[in-house]
Chain A
Amino acid sequence: MNTNMAVCIAVIAKENYPLYIRSVPTQNELKFHYTVHTSLDVVEEKISAVGKALGDQRELYLGLLYPTEDYKVYGYVTNSKVKFVIVVDSSNTSLRDNEIRSMFRKLHNSFTDVMCNPFHNPGDTIQSKAFDGIVSGMMVQTA
């Protein structure tokens, strides 16, 4: 198995609507939508807490947002307040914090590339093959 094993990856706009959300197709997509949406509560909480503390020198990686019985939800927020959420299966114990960080970093880089595309209208949902590819690489492969 690949070391990168997310079950759901989502990019959420500043205004909190999903720009991109993909989950492992065999699993309940709707459940992930609910999970990611609910995680925004914690993201917002963390952003406001961090914002007060450090001003502009803040860490983009928000860490584990919250665990549920089945999943661990990690968050990351760009300086333009675009949120990345990665959901990992709780049983997947091989993932370390550093690996999650590097996943987010990869995601952020690819997202930046999407934004640099002059034909992409910021605020639109992401429809980029390159981005899809990066996300696919991080997702659990279902044979």
Chain B
Amino acid sequence: THMAGQEEKPIIYTMENKPIVTCAGDQALFTSLYTSLAQQLPREPMEWRRTYGRAPKMILLEANFVQFKEELLPKEGNKALLTFPFLHIYWTDCCDTEMYKSSVKEDMMRWQNSLRTHGSSDWVIIVVETNDTKKKNKTNILPRSSIVDKIRSDFCNKQSDRCVVLSDPLKDSSRSQESWNSLLLKLRTLLLMSFTKNLGRFEDEMRTLREKRTQPGWSFCEYFMVQEELAFVFEMLQQFEDALVQYDELDALFTQYVLNFGAGDTANWLGSFCAPVRNWSGLLLRRPIDMEKRDSIQRGEASLLDLRSYLFSRQCTLLIFLQRPWEVTQRALELLHNCVQELRLLEVQVLEGALDCWVFLSCLEVLHRIEGCCDPAQLAANCSHTVGLWAAAHTGTVHHGVPEPSGLDFTLHFNSLQSPYKKLKEALSSVEAFERHYLELSHAAMEMYQAIGRLRSARLVGKSLAEFYMRKGDPERAETFLQEALKSYVSEGWSLPVTHTRRQVAECQKLLSKTEDYLQTSALLAGDVNLTTDERKHFCQEILSFTGKSGDQSHKVTLSMGVFAQLTQLKFHPAAASVHSGAVLQVELTLRCLMPVSVRIQQLVASIHFEVDHGGTHGRSKGAQRRTHPGTVVFRQSNSSAGPPSSAGAGPSLELDEIQDRSPSDNSLNSTGVICKNTHLLMRRHDSNSPPDTPNCISPPTVGIKEGAQMLKVQDVTLEPGNNSITFTAPPGTYTLRQLCATVGEVQFILPHIYPSAQYEVYSQEPQLTVEPLSEPLLAGLPQKVKFTLLTGHYTVKKGDALQLSNTETMPILPSTSCTARISSPTSELVGESTLSIQSSEKVTSISLPPAPPYHTLEFQLEVLCIIPSGADRPANERLTNGEVRHRPRSYSHPDTPMTAIDQRMSIDCPWSIYSTLLALTFYIPFKTKHSLLSAGNRKYIQVCVQNVSDVNFALAEVKLTEKQHASLELQSLNTKTQQLLCCKHSVFCLWEVRWKDDLPSCLQCVFSANFSPLSQDISAYKPFHYQFQLERVTTLYSVKAEIFPPAGEQRCRSGVLCGLEVCITRLTEPAEGEIAEDSKTETDGPKTTKLMYEVADSSSNWAVCGKSSGMVLMPMTANATHKVQIEVMPLFAGHLPFPKIKVLKYLPHTAAVAIQPDPDSCVENDSLSLLDKTLDDQGDTASIRSRGSVHSVGSGDQQQKGVAMPRLEPFSPGQVFNHSHACQVLVLPATDDHIMEVNAT
């Protein structure tokens, strides 16, 4: 059949194309072998090495064996490749030399000659050798090799491989198989060689042709045919990839020409493609080769669409062979866009609608083709491309224009009844059918988009669908799609699409008579800045004209406030948002009206909610208004209609609190963290698609204003565009603002929640009396002004009302001639002034108050004097007028000031209460006073030091010291000045000498007094100041005298040389009474003596004491009794050295009872010191011994008192021992003179 077929039609453009191999010679022989040959040839792949660096390929070779004819050989210039015979075979089974010589050789020669004339060198001679042939011609048998050799020598000049032997081809032997294999290998090799050679030559020629493309007369169509020939051959060889490359190259070349044309570079041949489009029959993908279009290209008559269609159909075919169908859809989409573009570029005349038909048909054709060859899974995976096609098909339909499809002049060639054509034909046949198809396509596209998650694209298709429905007069369906789209634009904040879509929604809603929705949408549009003012006014008018309708009163339309006006700020006056019931609290709202024109509002109502819980905590503002600006709540706007829904701009802000988890046992920190208190508000935003505070465009708020709630109201307000200020006056109580409602005729705009919450409080207040210093600090001892402030609260001060102050001795109220009270209103305006009448009795000071209205402030000042406690004496507890025990104001040291503080309490009886009001004032003592006793032998001096610790400068006058008990005692002042300046932080020292006649009393009760006044004031302002103190054991008992003697034979002491220290202790007085009593216990009989302990201590390490540094002395208790002690000391340095310190202490033997001095302040510590743990170098200081006793606490003191009697040392009071050599110095010479002092002078 193959052989027969050849003669009728040499070129068959089907997939059955195979490389042509001609067969000459013994046809019968070939026919017998043909089947095996055709089967076995493609059995094994061969490696095809390519030129131009192309990668080698494994290739299966098939061949179409045809009988050799001279006509088959290509003539000069014939570019056909498909019909090109790649190999010529001569078959012979001749084994007879004679026969070879007589006929076969000649035939071969002829064959060779015709090959040579046509320049074909791809040939082979096959000599078939069978046992049968050998047997048949036994007589003339020659060795087989000789025939082959002959042929080789005759024809195969240097190519011995051009003659092949096939042995016993029909036998099933290994030899036969081997011979077959080598033959097949040879044939394959030769075929490939031929391919490489001939295709290479072809490609070279093709390239040359392409290079000529700039020359005039070059034709793309011509070139197209040439390159396509190459593509065909590759396709024939099943090298689809290479074939596709040829078409892609053609595609790119053509595209480039069109682009160049667009850029003004015209090629002549392009003219044919610029012809008006007359045929738009769409792509044809079912047939591998659309011969009709190919012919038209070959004739140069193809239109642009023809060329593109043909090219694409070829590419599609190859892509399907390559099993990449999704690439078809992708390329198809590009092609469709590209073609439309190219037609535009080439300025091709296209009949209206023709292009859309072409696009539509092509889309359907591609989809159809792809669905046919793809499995569903593959289709789903690549449907993003497919969906584009659906969408393109859809848009193509849209472009048709719905109303009049029949208006097109259709000259479609519906010669084939394939489905896209059927569909289009049907669609165009009637409006109904068209619509049906359109809807079908749209829905398909939408579903596909949704399936692959391209929701935005799906919504856009939905929107155009909605536009279709609108034109069809079906607003109900349209609205669904529009709302869907609108929702997505709103949620992603695309304001322009929002406005556009919303306008379409408004149109729907108007048609559907969805009054509320329409009004809501209108309100949004009226406030939409993307629209022109006229458009906005139109929508605003829509609302206003509705409100103007005198409709049914019960039917009120409720809309969200947010579409109409935004509450931007809420302000309380006063800012605390908390006033008492007599004052006015105003709530000022700032409403930003979004309407383009001013709108008159019949009523604006803010509903308020009574807060039960917060009844008691008045005076404190709560909620959001406290945070940054007191009294002001700023409402953040969620930009509903326009603008970005940025995370910062919308929704409530985070309210964070720190939490700490502490261990219950030791309060150590286990963990710490931050919690969000308003998660319920924040989380809601993320969970649901529509934010709660976005004025929802889809459904109007169902929340109405709460019935029966308390309201703040204003009537008849006109809201201008932009910010408006509206003020409410708040009724008494604690309320939270909850909702806002504006009524315009039949329309109510409601803000269902005011967030952040704003709370105010109008409360009732009890009268309050406070006393505070006019200036800080209050100084004791001087008249000080204090301010009384009375907040009347709900109480009305009547005529005759008076404050009763219980008098105290320590803080008298000073009478003053002109004391005026100021009455001021809650807003601090002065209302009145009147003089106060103050009456003082012994116990009570009564202050008559002037009449004052409630919630006013009454202020007056009084002068008080806090008497400085003089120190020693302590008055008995007094009782106040109200029977309360008065505590003596105790002074204490205050941490903030060096001054001693005194809290002075006041008890005031007020007319509005049966209870006394207790108030305290803190005074500070400006002075610190110290005293000391100084001795010189028997003579005694008293020194008083007054230190000014306040910040005020004082003048001190009439400094006086008196002794209370002993009249004979004379205190002679050694102070020269009568008046002295006492600046702040400075001290004044005063000195008196004590003179006495008989005996010096052992105990002195002294009172220091002085007058002082602040420096700026005159003499009359002087106030007394007293300081009491007591001095005990004043008399000097012993005098201690030390002398240092140089070593014998020396004039002076020398450092490092021992010298003598003589301490002489002399009893100065007869024993005093107390002393005898003490000592009589120890020494019951014998001469009265007392034991003293002396100690030589040198704290500055000037001296080394050799031997005993301390010792006991038994002193007779008579006047002038003297005891001398010799001690050896060694000076350690040269120079004027101070004497070592000599201390004398009372030695109390273990039997002596502990002398407990009754301390006036009941401090139980005693002054006794243990021998063991006390260093004794600072007892001589001028401070009173007692103060030491109250400060220190000897560690073992308690044990001692509990009975373990130990010998103890007790220091003398200052003044009891007088040290003559207290500050004496002695000159000590250096040890030797020959010490070298090194002096470097530089």
Contacts and interface: CB of A to CB of B under 8 A. Distances in A.
B56 to A, nearest CB: 31
Interface stretch (B36-44, B300-308, B409-417, B644-652): B644-652
A109 interface: no
Contacts of A18: 493-495, 644
B454 interface: yes
Interface string A61-85: 0000011110000000000000000
A102 interface: no
A91 B341 contact: yes
Contacts of B1076: none
Interface residues of A, number: 29
A40 interface: yes
B257 to A, nearest CB: 12
Contacts of B203: none
B388 interface: yes
A33 interface: yes
Contacts of B460: 34, 37-38
Interface string A12-53: 010111110000000001100110011011101100000000
Contacts of A30: 496-497, 500
Nearest to A123: B646
Given A45-B453, A67-B333, A37 B494 contact: yes
B326 to A, nearest CB: 15
A15 B497 contact: no
B433 interface: no
B648 A90 contact: no
A42 B337 contact: no
Interface in B475-513: 489, 492-497, 500
Interface in B1107-1151: none
Interface in B859-897: none
A30 to B, nearest CB: 5
A38 B457 contact: yes
Nearest to B262: A93
A19 B145 CA distance: 90
A42 B643 CA distance: 23
A56 interface: no
Interface in B414-464: 449, 452-457, 460
A51 to B, nearest CB: 15
A3 interface: no
B26 to A, nearest CB: 63
B496 A15 contact: no
A42 B454 contact: yes
A121 interface: yes
A117 to B, nearest CB: 17
B345 interface: yes
A67 B494 contact: no
A125 interface: yes
Interface residues of B, number: 37
Contact of B644 (A66, A68, A91, A124): A124
Nearest to A39: B456
Contacts of A15: 492-493, 644-647
A69 B336 CA distance: 8
B252 interface: no
B334 interface: yes
A37 B341 contact: no
Given A90-B337, A93-B259, A40 B456 contact: yes
Interface in B340-378: 340-341, 344-345
B345 A33 contact: no
Given A15-B492, A34-B497, A45-B454, A123 B648 contact: yes
A69 B262 CA distance: 17
Contacts of A93: 259, 262-263
A19 B644 contact: yes
Given A38-B456, A90-B341, A121 B494 contact: no
A19 B492 CA distance: 11
A44 B333 CA distance: 20
B384 interface: yes
A29 B497 CA distance: 10
B164 to A, nearest CB: 54
B489 to A, nearest CB: 7
Most chain A beta carbons < 10 A, residue from B455, B496, B643: B496
Nearest to B388: A66
B669 to A, nearest CB: 36
A91 B345 contact: yes
Main secondary structure, interface of B, reads helix
Contact of A13 (B336, B497, B646): B646
Given A37-B497, A67-B334, A69-B341, A121 B456 contact: no
Contacts of B643: 125
Contacts of B344: 91
Given A16-B492, A67-B334, A90-B337, A41 B455 contact: yes
Contacts of A29: 496
A33 B497 contact: yes
Given A69-B337, A91-B345, A93-B259, A17 B493 contact: yes
A63 B453 CA distance: 20
Contacts of A38: 456-457, 460
B390 to A, nearest CB: 14
A33 B384 CA distance: 22
Contacts of A124: 644, 646
A21 B117 CA distance: 73
A17 B645 contact: yes
B648 A17 contact: no
Contacts of B262: 91, 93
Contacts of A90: 337, 341
Nearest to B449: A41
A29 B495 CA distance: 12
Contacts of B395: 69
Contacts of A33: 494, 496-497
Contacts of A125: 643-644
B939 to A, nearest CB: 83
Nearest to A93: B259
B579 to A, nearest CB: 38
Nearest to A71: B337
B489 A37 contact: yes
A17 B647 contact: no
Most chain A beta carbons < 10 A, residue from B395, B455, B646: B646
Interface string B746-758: 0000000000000
Contacts of B647: 15, 123
Contacts of A19: 644
A37 B456 contact: yes
A67 B497 CA distance: 21
Contacts of A69: 336-337, 340-341, 395
A17 B492 contact: yes
A33 B333 CA distance: 22
A29 B453 CA distance: 26
A126 B492 CA distance: 17
Contacts of B497: 30, 33-34, 37
Nearest to A19: B644
Nearest to B488: A37
A38 B648 CA distance: 25
A125 B648 CA distance: 13
Nearest to B341: A90
B1071 to A, nearest CB: 93
19 contacts: A17-B492, A17-B645, A17-B646, A18-B493, A30-B496, A30-B500, A38-B457, A40-B456, A41-B454, A41-B456, A44-B453, A45-B453, A66-B388, A67-B337, A69-B336, A91-B262, A123-B648, A124-B644, A125-B644
Interface of A: 13, 15-19, 29-30, 33-34, 37-38, 40-42, 44-45, 66-69, 90-91, 93-94, 121, 123-125
In the complex, the 7 A-B pairs of residues with the closest C-beta atoms, listed nearest first: A17-B493, A41-B454, A123-B646, A17-B644, A33-B496, A16-B492, A67-B337
Given A34-B460, A67-B337, A69-B341, 8 more contacts: A15-B647, A17-B492, A17-B494, A33-B497, A44-B453, A66-B388, A123-B648, A125-B643
